[in-house]
Amino acid sequence: MLSPRFLLLRSAASLTTRSLCAGGVSKQGRAPDMADVRNRLREIVGASTNWSDHKHAMAERVLLSSMLAKSQNDLPAKTMKDSYLEVHLPLGSEPQLREKYLTFHNTVRFGRILEDLDSLAVLISYSHTYNPALKRSPLSIVTALVDKIDMRQHIIYPDCDIKFTGHVTWVGKTSIEAKMHMSQYRDGAYSPVLDATFVMVARDPENKRAAFVNPLKPDGPEEEKIFQEGEANKSRRVELSTASLLKVAPTDEERKIVHSLFLNTLDSKTVSFRSRVLPPNSAWMEDGKLKGLEICHPQERNIFNRIFGGFLMRKAYELGWANACSYGGCRPTLVAVDDILFQKPVDIGSLLLLSSQVCYTQGKYIQVRVHSEVFDPLTRQHNTTNVFHFTFASDRDVPNIIPQTYGESMLYLDGKRHFNQTVEH
């Protein structure tokens, strides 16, 4: 059963087909699918599937700058119904589609779902800012943060249709929060699979500076409640950023945890600060790593000629899953995706280095952090582009991860914070 918050927008379901079909991308007689979503995005921006034509189209977008609003007050307010979308992934009714989404264990590749959620979040944001008077949008809307993805069901069936619904839930001056639900048709009804919250940012046609978006006007007490939750989410994000271990020292309680971990690794025979012994059923954090490399080809570009954020999420998830699988000795299930921060865009042709680290464990749970950076082989410089946080569950208790250095201890505490947020949620 879908969340009541999305049920109130069911009356807007008819807008789904109309908004996606505005550019003539949806085939008559069926619900819009993810191919329609990506085709519609290309039409909104003026992008092309042809590489050379695409570069020319992006150069022409500079001329759209004059269409940007000078202030948010110049833009009409929108309601949540204006951005409501319903999109289908017909894995059951269109078997030829399954192979792209299939794992060798005959389950659905969650990395592909991340790609679809990212595309849908962008289109939801464009639906909110839609101006029928303009043929193309002057806005460049990109993903800034995946705030949270909570799994409500751990099994996604490869032969059952999937439905995505979503709409804008909060708006700042230049940022948009979009919430999405994913459900799957089984035994005659749709059952919830996950809830996702993305934060998008609007920029100018060249993707260089922030641009204003339409304000959001809640319609009724239910939408007002949703909007206030968006305000609370923003405040929480600011608070978490302020308390980051990269900025401030750990709390007293966290310092005690680190010291306790240190004491538990002292060699009782030598009683020396230098002599460390691994406790039973434990593993050094140094041994909980797995790395990968991606060469960023044009095929993985988004509509703005950068590497598609969904592709980055898929690669990070698959590396994180492989690391959790290796560490726990079994196939883990995803519990939550938390706080994926997009710090810098990734250019086509980049060498993308991915490094996953098991940073916290508790019982059967494994917290994995994936750090991605672009490496320039000519200058030898490394620049962080993304940080990903995944919570996995094993079918058995896993070894306790133990930090040795101060830096590893900070990773441990950061992982514990993210895990606690997942559990409390």
Are 352 and 296 a contacting pair, CB within 8 Å?
yes
Q: Does some domain include residue 3? A: no
pLDDT band at 51 (very low <50, low <70, confident <90, very high): low
Mean pLDDT (the chain, rounded): 87
Per-residue confidence band for 4, with pLDDT thresholds at 50, 70 and 90: very low
Q: Is residue 74 assigned to a domain?
A: yes
Q: Is 196 found in the same domain as 53?
A: yes
* Of 217, 237, 261, the domain-final residue: 217
The label of the residue with tokens 């900070």 reads 410
Is the pLDDT score of 29 beyond 60? Answer: no
Domain match, 192 and 287 both: no
Residues 282, 206 share a domain: no
CATH number for the domain harbouring residue 191? 3.10.129.10
Regarding whether 382 and 312 lie in a shared domain, the answer is yes
Do 299 and 191 lie in one domain? The reply is no
Mean pLDDT calculated for residue range 40-69: 79
Position 322 in a domain: yes
Say yes or no: 370 and 300 in one domain: yes
Q: Which comes out higher in pLDDT, residue 403 or 247? A: 403
183 and 70: one domain?
yes
Question: Distances in Å between the alpha carbon of 179 and those of 230, 331, 334, 413?
Answer: 10, 29, 19, 28
Are the C-beta atoms of residues 234 and 147 closer than 8 Å to each other? no
33, 38, 156, 215, 354 from 112: Cα distances, Å: 14, 14, 12, 32, 18
User: pLDDT for 248-292, tens place per residue?
Assistant: 999 999 999 999 999 999 877 777 667 788 999 999 999 999 999
What does DSSP assign to residue 208? S
Coil, strand or helix at 70: coil
* Residue that is last in its domain, among 217, 235, 251: 217
- For residues 412 and 285, state if they share a domain: yes
Q: Are residues 212 and 70 in the same domain?
A: yes
In this predicted structure, the answer to whether residue 16 has a pLDDT above a threshold of 70 is: no
Let me know if residue 19 belongs to a domain.
no
Residue 303 lies in a domain: yes
With pLDDT > 90 as the criterion, what percentage of the chain qualifies?
Answer: 62
212 and 288 share a domain? no
**Is 240 part of a structural domain of the chain?**
no
Buried b (16+ CB within 10 A) or exposed e, 193-213: bbbbbbbbbbbbbebeeebbb
Instruction: Give the total number of structural domains in the chain.
Output: 2
Instruction: Work out the average pLDDT over 342-366.
Output: 92
Could you tell me the pTM of the whole model? 0.87
- Residues 419 and 304 placed together within one structural domain of the fold: yes
Which residues span the domain enclosing 288?
A: 278-424
Distance CA 372, CA 282 (A): 27
Tell me, what amino acid is at 370?
A: V
Query: Residue 47's pLDDT band (boundaries 50, 70, 90)?
Result: confident
231 vs 15, more confident: 231
Q: Of the residues 195, 217, 239, which one is the last residue of a structural domain?
A: 217
Q: What pLDDT sits at residue 9?
A: 47
**One domain, residues 420 and 325:** yes
Instruction: Please determine, for residue 316, whether its predicted confidence score (pLDDT) is greater than 50.
Output: yes
387: in domain: yes
Mean pLDDT over 203-225 rounds to 92
pLDDT of 13: 41
In a domain, 131, yes or no: yes
Residue 400's pLDDT band, with cuts at 50, 70 and 90, is very high
